[in-house]
Amino acid sequence: MTWPVTSSIVALRSVEDHCAKVAGLIGSTPVRQSNTLAASGLVLAEPVFAPASLPLFDNSAVDGYAVHVSDLIGASAESPVVLPVAQHVPAGHFTPVASVVGTVAKIMTGAPVPAGSTGIVPVEGARVDGMRVEFGRPCDFGAHIRRRGEDVREGQNLLASGTVLTPLHAGLLAAVGVRSVPVHRRVRVAVISTGSEIIHRSSVLGIGQIHECNSVLLEAAVRSCGAEVTMCVSVSDSVDDFRAVLATACAGADVVITSGGISAGDHEVVKQALSTEDMEFEGVAMSPGRPQGAGRVFGTAVLSFPGNPLAAYASFEFFARRNLRLAMGLSPEERREATVPLAHAVESTPGRHSFHLARSNADGTVTVLTGAKRHGLGSAADANCFVRVGDTVGALRAGDLVRTVAL
Ligand SMILES: Nc1nc2c(c(=O)[nH]1)N[C@H]1C(S)=C(S)[C@@H](COP(=O)(O)OP(=O)(O)OC[C@H]3O[C@@H](n4cnc5c(N)ncnc54)[C@H](O)[C@@H]3O)O[C@H]1N2
Ligand code: MOO
């Protein structure tokens, strides 16, 4: 009698090869005009030139008096200069008349400086006497005047193509009157969890059922890298149901991520439903996350991750995150990385990449939290980073250096 070849001795695809396979499935997103708020975190596809100067007109930086500097030459506490207030200039809706020598204008912060005024004296630097104001010292030319264009010049290259837009950029664009910008749009991702035992976002469980967590985990992970989630559902182990849901998911997404149903059991719904499609189901040299599927269905990229929650997350980190970010023109990684010594020995399987949730310690070392049976998310509570150990590394001793990525 011959025994079937067990999966453990079947050659595994390398993590790098599988990542390249996934990268080949996910193209760059098209450029779309997007309002500046929605564009936060996205990459500018063209430079933005300032359509207007900032400030748009000479205005006062303080609440005070717009003066002719020449009127205050020689002013001192002993011999103050007293001048009449000829007009009041509030911020907003008032066009000041030109200022006459020998008079001042009361002016508020942000209000336009009257033509002819050459400096502003803050209210704290003047003494009011009815409609006359007393000045006890001279005023520097241009004092407290914000000049047109001193912050931004009309026509200047405001933001370069390739800029990752931040809230500050949104504010800058709004300040010069730009409402929308061309950006690489977000990757659209649909998430489908599978399994007849998983109960989607309900607290009522029957015997043998469990709370569904992968779709929540994956939706949050997709959002965290700037991509958009178009749908997030769970389906049972029915091939027909799964195919129907997948058809809808593929119609509205660039990428569909499934979890579960791809190993060696009797009800591997994803594998069975997609066996005739352009999909490859392989064992990949990583732990957790060995079973993987990737390909194209109805023209859409489909990534099939294993159902064990930590395996699904490791799969996202290894294969989805960098490729989703690259598709939007972002750098593959923006989280803080460090090379730090291990606080203790860690077992690793040569020939496999391993993924560990971990904690960076105050003494500069890192403690690995996930144990040998790395399937659950229990250690997520204490984790503040993760560690990836390469496939060429043997057992690790305390003090060996590993690379951490902040969560
Ligand atoms: N005979 C073999 N058995 C298994 C193998 C193998 O090679 N030979 N591989 C093991 C490995 S490694 C993994 S990982 C799992 C992956 O299996 P599936 O992708 O088919 O996932 P499921 O069987 O559907 O689920 C695995 C596990 O995770 C729980 N699960 C699934 N989805 C969710 C969810 N959305 N929320 C919470 N928990 C979920 C599920 O109940 C199972 O306990 O296969 C091993 N077996
Ligand atoms: O490698 Mo599985 O992916 O053990 O959890």
In tens, the pLDDT along 292-326 reads 999 999 999 999 999 999 999 999 999 999 999 99
Q: Which of 299, 298, 327 minimizes the C-alpha distance to 187?
A: 327
Band (182; pLDDT cuts 50, 70, 90): very high
User: What secondary structure letter does DSSP report for 284?
Assistant: B
CB of 308 shorter than 6 A to ligand 2: yes
- Decide whether any atom of ligand 1 lies within 6 Å of the 193 Cβ: yes
Q: Is the CB of 272 under 6 A from ligand 1?
A: no
Residue 162 backbone class (left: φ over 0; alpha: ψ -120 to 50; beta: rest): left
Centre of ligand 1 to C-alpha 284, Å, is 15
Q: Which residue has the higher pLDDT, 399 or 5?
A: 399
Q: What is the pLDDT of residues 325-383, one digit of tens each?
A: 999 999 999 899 999 999 999 987 888 999 999 999 999 999 999 876 667 788 899 99
Distance 91 CA to ligand 1 centre (A): 65
Q: Which atom of ligand 1 is nearest to the CA of 237?
A: 24
Q: Whose CA is nearest to atom 4 of ligand 2?
A: 288
Nearest to 194 by CA among 307, 302, 277, 271: 307
Per-residue CA distances from 335 to 193, 267, 316, 386 (Å): 27, 38, 15, 11
- Alpha carbon of residue 301 to chain centroid: 23
Of 186, 315, 193, nearest to 252 by C-alpha is: 186
- pLDDT tens-digit profile of 183-199? 999 999 999 999 988 88
pLDDT of 373 = 63
Nearest ligand to the C-alpha atom of residue 349: 2
Quick check: 120 and 60 in contact, CB under 8 A?
yes
The Cβ-side half-sphere exposure at 99, using a 13 Å CA radius, reads 29
Q: Tell me, using a 6 A CB cutoff, whether residue 306 lines ligand 1.
A: yes
309 lines ligand 1 (CB under 6 A): yes
pTM here is 0.88
Give the ligand with the smallest distance to the CA of 10: 1
- Bridge partner list, 357: 386
Kindly state if the Cβ of 289 falls inside 6 Å of ligand 2: yes
The number of the ligand nearest the C-alpha atom of 237 reads 1
| pLDDT grade for 9, boundaries at 50, 70 and 90 | low
Residue 108 tokens read as 């508020």
**304 forms bridges with which residues in the sheet?**
258, 293
For the chain, state the CA radius of gyration.
Answer: 32
Query: Looking at ligand 2, which residue's alpha carbon is closest to its atom 3?
Result: 289
Does residue 236 register a pLDDT over 80? yes
Q: Ligand 2 within 6 A of 260 CB?
A: no
Partners of 278 in the β-ladder: 296
pLDDT at 3 over 60: no
For ligand 1, whether the C-beta of 264 sits within 6 Å is yes
240: buried, middle or exposed (CB in 10 Å: 19+, 13-18, 0-12)? exposed
Distance CA 247, CA 174 (A): 40
288 CB less than 6 Å from ligand 2?
A: yes
> Is 212 close to ligand 1, i.e. is its CB under 6 Å away?
yes
Q: What is the mean pLDDT of residues 21-49?
A: 97
Convert the pLDDT of each residue in 93-105 to its tens digit.
778 899 999 999 9
Ligand closest to Cα of 318 equals 2
DSSP 3-state of 385: strand
- Complex ipTM value: 0.96
Band of pLDDT at residue 4, cut at 50, 70 and 90: very low
pLDDT in tens, 44-91: 999 999 999 999 999 999 999 999 999 999 999 999 999 999 999 999
**CA-wise closest residue to 262 among 327, 214, 222, 223:** 214
The residue with tokens 């405001």 is 158
Q: Does the CB atom of residue 361 touch ligand 1 within 6 A?
A: no
Residue nearest to atom 1 of ligand 2 (CA): 288
Ligand 1 mutation pick, 213, 218, 234, 263, max ligand atoms within 8 A of CB: 263
Residue 201 pLDDT level (bands cut at 50, 70, 90): confident
Q: How far is the CA of 232 from the centre of ligand 2 (A)?
A: 23
